[in-house]
Structure 1
Amino acid sequence: MIKMTKKAIVFDNSGTLLERFRVIKDLSTGEFITHVNSLDLIDSCLNAALVVLQFNTNRLKDLDPNTLISDFVLENNIDFDISYYSTDVSKEEIKAILEKDTAIIKDITDTFPLLKERVPGMELCNGSAVIIDIEEERISYTITSAGQLFSGVKDTIAKLQDSGTDVFIASGDRSGDIRKLANITGVPEDHAFATASTDRKAEIVANLQDEGYKVMMVGDGPNDILAFQKADAAVLTTEQKDGDFPDKLKSYADFVIEDISEVLQIDF
């Protein structure tokens, strides 16, 4: 009897399944940034971390805009996770920085009008994050984001599942958003991993391999590189056309695709 190899595909979320839209506010200048990837900002710094705040951003609309972000996070026991970093840092160190930071809720809500202009009425994956300068011990940028599914996502996932391939999501985005995305796309909730750091994505791939899966990793950013290295097949998707994809990132990919449906043609 021929033993069939189990196959799994792990998708990144933002920029892979979702066309992302984000607005970044530079707290040192007040400038709004819309065409820079937040991961590229972190890579340009020696000591920075992307911290995802685990709450629905819409909660901020009813707050005093001068409320400290730190007060809101700590007094409401808002969980947070470190999604990406340019240097190792612990949650305890991040919490200590947050406790003394002076950024205010307005630094987040200021971005709402511009985000709404870009994605009118959009709710999918509408979240907030901050970039913390670890050396200067302060919030240097706030980020709000939203997204819409690329057109072929649901059909592609359905066809993969029909063919016997198990589908997983591993994303740096907050847990509420990833649960919602799983429900929309038909991915089981226990196959959807939120606020997954670079190391965690690689761990997810390795755990699936230990379970007997042959694993394809599909992503679009530097936070997918370790998972690319671990996977049996690494696929870089360039469907999110809001920036350049560095040659270094391409060098880790076995395949480069322009449309998510192209994964259906890859034999691994």
Structure 2
Amino acid sequence: MEKEHVELDVSCSNGEVSPSEISKIVQQSDLVLGDVQEVFCRVKTRCPNIFYLACGFIVDVVEQSVTYVVSTGGRLYPESKDTLQALHQRGAGLYIASGDSMKNLSRLSRCIGVPIDGVFDIASTFDKERIVKDLKKQYDKVIMVGDGMNDMLALRSADIGILTVQQGDSRPSRLQESADVVVGNISEVVRFADEAISS
């Protein structure tokens, strides 16, 4: 990994940990680039026609080891573009804060119509919370829409935290409790935006 100059960052953790600390653990492990390639290939095989593909590691800082190589691939919800267009028509500022890389997020932003200067890449749980708090200084109301544990602090910090469960798998109760609202379809966000505008 070091030979290939692969840069690492932290997108989700249960405490403060630096990228340099993670890099050191990864470099000292027996992990090779082929492990990452194998995981990518498995995701591509099982999930054809995906919009994005990302890879990461689960690192046990206490044990100083890489316990898993993980990869995700995903598709946009079918209603995403229409939902964001409806929010834009209402004058909403649209932003993306994600643990993903700018390479994937720039493609996503073009596809769904979010200006690139409103895209925050490699955002950790704490970064997302800070971004929401900063946006609250600029806007009367901030709605945060998320779907994962790394969105929990940002959901709590928003005026309205919306957890989407449209992806179909179960979400931990801690995450559900951090949201003001749980929706089964991303298009439901428009109704909550309308309510926020009228209040």
- TM-score normalised over the length of structure 1: 0.68
Deviating more after overlay: 144-153 vs 105-114 = 105-114
Q: Which residue of 2 aligns with 1:109?
A: 37
Q: What is the Cα deviation at residue 174 of structure 1?
A: 1.6
Q: Mark the CA change 1:256 to 1:121 in structure 2 (over 3 Å): closer, same or farther.
A: closer
Q: CA deviation at 1:159?
A: 1.0
8 A Cα contact 2:83 2:187, kept in partner: yes
2:175 is aligned to: 249
Q: Distance in 2 between matches of 1:107 and 1:77?
A: 16
* Letter matched to residue 89 of structure 2: D
Structure number having the greater helix percentage: 2
The residue aligned with 2:188 is: 262
State the distance in 2 between where 1:96 and 1:118 align. 32
TM alignment of 1:60-139, pairs within 5 A: 72=1, 74-122=2-50, 124-139=51-66
Is the contact made by 2:8 and 2:22 (CA closer than 8 Å) also made in structure 1? no
Answer whether contact 2:144 2:154 (CA < 8 A) is retained: yes
Residue 172 of structure 1: aligned partner: 99
Letter paired with 1:198: T
**CA shift in 2, pair 1:176/1:130, >3 Å:** same
Give the whole-Å Cα distance in 2 for the aligned partners of 1:93 and 1:183. Answer: 34
Q: Are the structure 2 counterparts of residues 121 and 240 from structure 1 closer, same or farther at C-alpha, using a change threshold of 3 Å?
A: closer
| Gapped regions of structure 2 (runs ≥ 5) | none
Tell me, in whole angstroms, the C-alpha distance in 2 between the residues paired with 1:129 and 1:147.
Answer: 15
Q: Mean Cα displacement is larger for which, 171-180 or 74-83?
A: 74-83
Q: Name the % identity.
A: 35
Residue 144 of structure 1 aligns to a residue whose secondary structure is strand
Which residue does 2:123 correspond to in 1?
196
SS of 2:99's equivalent? coil
State the Cα RMSD in Å: 1.6
Task: Name the structure 2 match of 1:236.
Answer: 163
Question: How is 1:175-186 mapped onto 2 (pairs within 5 angstroms)?
Answer: 175-186=102-113
Name the CA distance, whole Å, in 2 between partners of 1:100 and 1:80: 14
Shift of 1:256: 1.1
The offset of 1:213, in angstroms, is 3.9
For structure 1, list consecutive stretches of 5 or more residues without a partner in the other structure: 1-71
Counterpart-to-counterpart distance in 1, 2:70 and 2:19: 19
For 2:32 and 2:184, locate their aligned partners in 1 and report how far apart those are by CA, in whole Å. Answer: 39
Distance 1:111 1:89 in 2: 24
Separation (CA, whole Å) in 2 of partners of 1:78 and 1:105: 9
Deviations 1:28-82 (A, max 9, x none): xxxxxxxxxxxxxxxxxxxxxxxxxxxxxxxxxxxxxxxxxxxx3x334332210
> Following the alignment from structure 1 to structure 2, what is the Cα–Cα distance between the partners of residues 230 and 120?
36
- Measure, in 2, the Cα distance between the counterparts of 1:167 and 1:111: 32
Highest relative contact order (Cα 8 Å, sep 6+), 1 or 2?
1
Q: 1:213/1:77 Cα in 2 relative to 1: closer, same or farther (>3 Å)?
A: farther
Q: Provide closer, same or farther for how the CA distance between residues 95 and 102 of structure 1 changes in structure 2, counting only shifts above 3 A.
A: same
Runs of 4+ residues deviating >4 angstroms: none
The structural deviation recorded for 1:168 is: 0.6
In structure 2, how many angstroms separate the alpha carbons of the residues matched to 1:213 and 1:142?
A: 41
1:97, distance to aligned residue in structure 2 (A): 1.3
Shift of 1:113: 4.0
CA distance in structure 2 between the aligned counterparts of 1:99 and 1:246, rounded to whole angstroms: 32
